[in-house]
Amino acid sequence: MTRPTTPKTPRTFHVKSFGCQMNVYDGERMAEMLGAQGMTAAEDGLSADMVVLNTCHIREKAAEKVYSDIGRLRREDGSRPMIAVAGCVAQAEGPEITRRTKMVDIVVGPQAYHRLPELVDKAVRGEEALDTDMPAASKFGALPGRAKQPRPTAFLTVQEGCDKFCTYCVVPYTRGAEISRPWDAILDEAKALVDGGAKEITLLGQNVNAWGDDTGRGLHDLIRALDRVDGLQRIRYTTSHPNDMTDGLIAAHAEVEKLMPYLHLPVQSGSDPILKAMNRSHTRDSYLRLLDKVRTVRPDIALSGDFIVGFPGETDADFEATMSLIREVGYAYAFSFKYSPRPGTPAAEMANQIAPELMDERLKQLQTQITSDQLAFNQRTVGKSCPVLIEKAGRKPGQLVGKSPWLQSVHVYAEGAQIGDMVNVEIVSAGPNSLAGELVQQKEAA
């Protein structure tokens, strides 16, 4: 039997987030809000009365996945949970979603999810439950405070949206214009997270380094204020735009001890004509000079980036320029994608779209280079000691997994250590994706 047209009030929920860390954060806030309404979290989508699919629209594959995920929520007896599509697909496709499938009860955009409880009530009453408003006021004030969830690392969204309009990107349309959350709200939330057990906070934003307020404070001021929060041990931030990489923020990397030596600074391409067609507003040279500045104040910094191969019109020479930039920088980590035309973006209309086979070939070549650079970076840490924040149990008995200051995963056997501990580890071996280490105290005692 299919579920009745008027769904019954859900008592349990499951939130599944796709895509970026900001979606992970939004998913947590939605779960906390539903919890505050008296609902309880179900183990998985199969047993939940209500499932929230918190979607990503950045590339075509990610967006199409939503529909197959919805289909998979149909149960053996033909019934299904109440289904809410949230996130960027909800924003981009809106009412098209309920036209395309009858299985969805609620459509809620990333700037409207504080109204999810009202939408659930509407769906129960059998009314249309769609909200993709992008109000000028931030949703954050309307959300309940952070729930206490003991975990050593936490995300904290401080900035949302993007005004840069890179020609390939849907973000300015799905997340709206750049907004910065207020200073006090951020510090209060950070303190609540630390009280709940967080040792590390990652500040999030589509353009996190564009954070600012009307008193002229910037992200580096926020980082310095967080540095003074007792109990907080590590600060990170992501994702940054080269144009908002201020001298103040670079100086913070030299001076703020809690700010970890890791910088994710997407460049997308190493070729100036392509950067121009992408509307990136930086050049290969200005990007490289920026990295030089950062490395001057923080020589050990781990650099990571985002790359798109196969942007319309990308020639062999353009691609080679990207490869040479990668070799020149020596990234510690990188994310790389095949260009995916997104409806409504200028690049989707450009001539000279690149054949999929050529994109495959370029992506493979680029990823081979990145993997070897990652391995080289990781190998340089072998023999050194560093603090590792333990985040979870490893796959083998007695093994724990944590993160180095440079965001590398470190596997370590550390008897007596617990999740949330900061332990001193000597790195003994390295692969492209992780390191193995030994507890320093343990070695001394032996």
Binding site for ligand SF4 (CB under 6 A): 162, 164-166, 169, 171-172, 206-207, 241
Hey, which residues between 13 and 72 contact ligand 5AD (CB under 6 A)? 58-59
Least distance in Å: CB of 268 to ligand 5AD?
5
State the residue for tokens 């200028």: 346
Residues of span 341-360 touching ligand 5AD by CB under 6 A: 342
* Count of residues of this chain found to bind ligand 5AD when the rule CB under 6 A is applied: 12
Residue 99 or 335: which CB sits closer to ligand 5AD?
Answer: 335
Q: Which is nearer to ligand SF4, 206 or 336 (CB)?
A: 206
Q: Which is nearer to ligand SF4, 331 or 406 (CB)?
A: 331
**398 φψ region: left (φ > 0), alpha (ψ -120 to 50), beta (else):** left
Instruction: Please answer whether residues 347 and 168 qualify as being in contact, where contact means their C-beta atoms are separated by less than 8 angstroms.
Output: yes
Instruction: Determine which helix (DSSP H) or strand (DSSP E) holds 332, and give its type and residue range.
Output: none
**Which helix H or strand E contains 22, and what residues bound it?**
helix 21-36
Alpha-carbon torsion (51, 57, 62, 65), positive or negative? positive
The partner in contact with residue 199, picked from ligand SF4, ligand 5AD, none with C-beta cut-offs of 5 to 8 angstroms by kind, is none
Least separation in angstroms between CB 163 and ligand SF4: 8
Least distance in angstroms from the C-beta of 306 to ligand 5AD: 3
Q: Of 251-310, which residues contact ligand 5AD (CB under 6 A)?
A: 266, 268, 306, 308
In the complex, least distance from residue 109 CB atom to ligand SF4, rounded to whole angstroms? 16
Residue 162 touches which of ligand 5AD, ligand SF4, none (Cβ within 5-8 Å per kind) = ligand SF4
* CA-closest candidate to residue 141, choices 181, 110, 175, 107: 181
Choose the one of ligand 5AD, ligand SF4, none that binds residue 339, judging by a C-beta under 5 to 8 angstroms depending on kind. Answer: ligand 5AD
Q: Which of ligand 5AD, ligand SF4, none has residue 206 at its interface (CB below 5 to 8 Å by kind)?
A: ligand SF4
Q: Decide whether 308 or 386 has the Cβ nearer to ligand SF4.
A: 308
Q: Does 168 bind ligand 5AD (CB under 6 A)?
A: yes
* Nearest-angstrom CA–CA distance, 45 and 402: 29
Rounded to the nearest 5°, which phi and psi values hold at 348?
A: -65, -25
CA 246 – CA 293 distance, rounded (Å): 11
315 three-class SS: coil
Residue 438 carries which side chain, given as an amino acid letter?
E
Between 261 and 266, CB nearer to ligand 5AD: 266
Shortest Å distance, C-beta 176 to ligand SF4 = 11
> How far apart are CB 171 and ligand SF4 at their closest, in Å?
4
- Give the residue from 350, 370, 362 showing the smallest Cα distance to 310: 362
Q: Cβ closer to ligand SF4: 45 or 176?
A: 176
Q: Which does 59 bind (CB under 5 to 8 A by kind): ligand SF4, ligand 5AD, none?
A: ligand 5AD
By residue count, the chain amounts to: 446
Tell me which residue has its CB nearest to ligand 5AD: 306
Q: CB of 362: closest distance to ligand SF4 in angstroms?
A: 19
Q: Give me the least distance between CB of 20 and ligand 5AD, in Å please.
A: 6
- Report DSSP state, residue 223: H
Q: Which is nearer to ligand SF4, 13 or 333 (CB)?
A: 333
Listed in sequence order, the DSSP H helices in 256-380 are: 272-277, 284-297, 316-329, 356-379
Residue where the block lists tokens 């923080």 = 298
DSSP 335-354: EEEE----TTSGGGG-S-PP
Closest distance to ligand 5AD from the beta carbon of 164 (Å): 11
Nearest CA to 288 among 334, 249, 331, 337?
Answer: 331
Q: Which residues within the stretch 322-341 sit at the binding site for ligand 5AD (CB under 6 A)?
A: 337, 339-340
Q: Which does 50 bind (CB under 5 to 8 A by kind): ligand SF4, ligand 5AD, none?
A: none
- In the list ligand SF4, ligand 5AD, none, the entry touching 342 (Cβ below 5 to 8 angstroms by class) is ligand 5AD
Residue 10's binding partner, choosing from ligand 5AD, ligand SF4, none, with beta-carbon cut-off 5 to 8 A by kind? Answer: none
CB of 339 to ligand 5AD, least distance (A): 5
Residue 188 has a CB neighbour count (10 Å cut-off) of 13
Contacts with 283 (C-beta within 8 Å, 6 or more apart), sequence order? 272, 275
Residue 269 β-bridge partners: none
Half-sphere exposure of 233 (CA within 13 A, CB side): 16
Are the C-beta atoms of residues 5 and 123 closer than 8 Å to each other? Answer: no
d(CA 311, CA 294): 28
Per CB under 6 A, residues contacting ligand 5AD are 58-59, 168-169, 266, 268, 306, 308, 337, 339-340, 342
